[in-house]
Structure 1
Amino acid sequence: MLDVIVVGGGAAGFYTAIHVAQQAPHFKVAIFERGKNVLSKVKVSGGGRCNVTHGEFSPSSLVLNYPRGQKELLGPFHVHGPGDVMSFFEERNVPLKIEADGRVFPVSNDSQSIVDCLLEEANRLGIRVLRNSAVKQIQKLDDVWQVTTMNKHYQARNLMLTAGSNPKIWDLLQGLGHTIVSPVPSLFTFNSSDPRLNGVQGISVDAEVEVLPKKVFSSAKNLKLKSMPKEQPILRSEGPVLITHWGLSGPAILKLSAWGARLLKEYQYNFKIRINWTPEYTPGSMEGLLREVRSVESRKTVLRTKVIDLPRRLWAKLVHAAGVSKELRWAEMTNQDIGNLANQLTACSIRVEGKSTFKEEFVTAGGVELKEINFKTFESRLHPKLFFAGEIINVDAITGGFNFQNAWTGAYIAARAMTSEE
Structure 2
Amino acid sequence: MYDVIIVGGGAAGFYASIQIAEHAPQLKIAIFERGKTVLSKVKVSGGGRCNVTHGEFSAHDLVTNYPRGQKELLGPFHTYAPGDVMSFFEERRVPLKIEADGRVFPQSNSSQTIIDCLVGEAERLGIKVLKNSAVKQFNKNENGEGWQITTMNKHYQCKKMLLATGSNPKIWRQLEALGHTIVPPVPSLFTFNINDERIAGIQGISTYATAEVPPKKIFSSKIGVKLRSIPKEEPVLRSEGPVLITHWGLSGPAILKLSAWGANILHDYHYVFRVNINWTPEYTTGSMELLLREIKEVEAKKTVLRTNAVDIPRRLWTNLVKASGIEKDLKWADLTKEKLQNLAEQLTACSFRVEGKSTFKEEFVTAGGVDLKEINFKTFGSKIHPNLYFAGEIINVDAITGGFNFQNAWTGAYIAAKAIALE
User: Is TM (by shorter chain) over 0.5?
Assistant: yes
Q: Which residue is equivalent to 1:147?
A: 149
Cα separation, partners in 2 of 1:185 and 1:228, compared to 1, 3 Å: closer
The count of residues paired between Structure 1 and Structure 2 equals 415
Ranges in structure 1 where 5+ consecutive residues have no aligned partner = 218-223
Please report how far the alpha carbon of residue 229 of structure 1 lies from its aligned counterpart in structure 2 after TM superposition.
Answer: 2.4
Alpha-carbon shift at residue 226 of structure 1 (Å): 6.1
- Map 1:381-392; keep pairs closer than 5 Å: 381-392=383-394
Structure 1 residue 338, shift from structure 2 partner: 1.1
| Residues 23-422 of structure 1: pairs in structure 2 closer than 5 A | 23-141=23-141, 142=143, 143-216=145-218, 229-421=231-423
Separation in 1, partners of 2:375, 2:152: 29
Aligned to 1:409, the other structure's residue is in SS state helix
Render the CA deviation track for 1:6-31: whole Å, top value 9, x for unaligned: 00000000000000000111100000
SS at match of 2:250: strand
- Secondary structure, counterpart of 1:387 in structure 2: strand
Deviation digits for residues 30-79 of structure 1, max 9, x if unmatched? 00000001000001000000000000000010000000000000000000
The letter of the residue matching 2:26 is H
- Match of 1:104, SS? strand
Residues 32 and 134 of structure 2 are in contact (CA less than 8 Å); yes or no, is this contact kept in structure 1? yes
Aligned equivalents of 2:120 and 2:348: distance in 1?
52
**What is the rounded CA distance, in whole Å, between the counterparts of 2:228 and 2:179 in structure 1?**
55
1:282 and 1:200 map into 2 onto residues whose CA distance is 25
What secondary structure is seen at the aligned counterpart in 2 of 1:231?
A: coil
- Letter in structure 1 aligned against 2:94: V
State the AA in 1 paired with 2:58: S
Alpha-carbon distance in 2 for matches of 1:74, 1:64: 10
Residues 135-171 of structure 1, C-alpha deviations (whole Å, 9 max, x = no match): 0010101212111000111111110000000111111
Letter in 2 for 1:309: D
CA distance in 1, matches of 2:351, 2:410: 40
Deviation (angstroms), 1:225: 9.0
Letter in 1 for 2:208: D
Question: CA–CA distance in 2 between the matches of 1:385 and 1:81?
Answer: 24
Provide Cα deviations, 1:264-288, integer angstroms capped at 9, x if missing partner.
0000000001100011111111111
Cα displacement string for residues 243-299 of structure 1 (whole angstroms, at most 9, x for unaligned residues) = 000000000000000000000000000000110001111111111111011001101
Structure 1 position 335, deviation (Å): 1.4
Q: Distance in 2 between matches of 1:35 and 1:227?
A: 55
Amino acid at match of 1:381: K
Tell me the amino acid that sits aligned with residue 137 of structure 2: Q
Distance 1:225 1:176, change over 3 A: closer
Q: CA deviation at 1:216?
A: 2.8
- Hey, what's the Cα distance between the residues in 1 that align with 2:146 and 2:305? 73
The whole-number CA distance in structure 2 between the counterparts of 1:311 and 1:64 is 31
**Structure 1 CA distance, aligned partners of 2:420 and 2:233?**
52
Structure 1 residues 193 and 228: alpha-carbon distance in aligned structure 2, compared to 1, 3 A threshold:
closer
Q: 1:409 is aligned with what amino acid?
A: T
Q: Tell me, in whole angstroms, the C-alpha distance in 2 between the residues paired with 1:327 and 1:134.
A: 66
Q: Is the 8 A contact 2:380 2:412 kept in 1?
A: yes
* Aligned AA (1:12): A
Q: Distance in 1 between matches of 2:139 and 2:238?
A: 45
Pair 190,228 (structure 1): closer, same or farther in 2 beyond 3 Å:
closer
1:22 aligns with 2:43: no
Q: Give the letter aligned to residue 216 of structure 1.
A: I
State the match for 1:12 in structure 2. Answer: 12
Between the aligned partners of 1:171 and 1:305, the Cα distance in structure 2 is 60
Q: Which residue identity is paired with 1:99? A: E
Conserved? CA contact 2:285–2:349, under 8 Å: yes
Deviations 1:368-391 (A, max 9, x none): 000000000000000000000100
Query: Secondary structure at 2:6's aligned position in 1?
Result: strand
The separation in 2 between residues aligned to 1:122 and 1:227, in whole angstroms, is 63
Cα distance in 1 for partners of 2:309, 2:70 equals 42
Change (3 A) 1:55 1:375: same
Alignment-mate amino acid for residue 91 of structure 1: E
Secondary structure of the corresponding residue to residue 240 of structure 2: strand
**What is the CA deviation profile of residues 335-391 of structure 1, one whole-angstrom value per residue up to 9, with x for unaligned ones?**
111111000000000000000000110000000000000000000000000000100
Q: Give the CA deviation at 1:232.
A: 2.3
SS of the equivalent of 2:409 reads helix
SS in 2 for 1:118: helix
Say which is worse superposed, 140-149 or 127-136, in terms of deviation.
Answer: 140-149
1:220 corresponds to:
none
The letter for the 2-side match of 1:270 is V
- Rounded to whole Å, the distance in 2 between the matches of 1:410 and 1:199 is 44
Tell me if the contact between 2:218 and 2:230 (Cα under 8 Å) persists in the aligned partners: no
Q: For structure 2, which runs of at least 5 residues remain unmatched after alignment? A: 220-225
CA RMSD, 1 decimal = 1.2
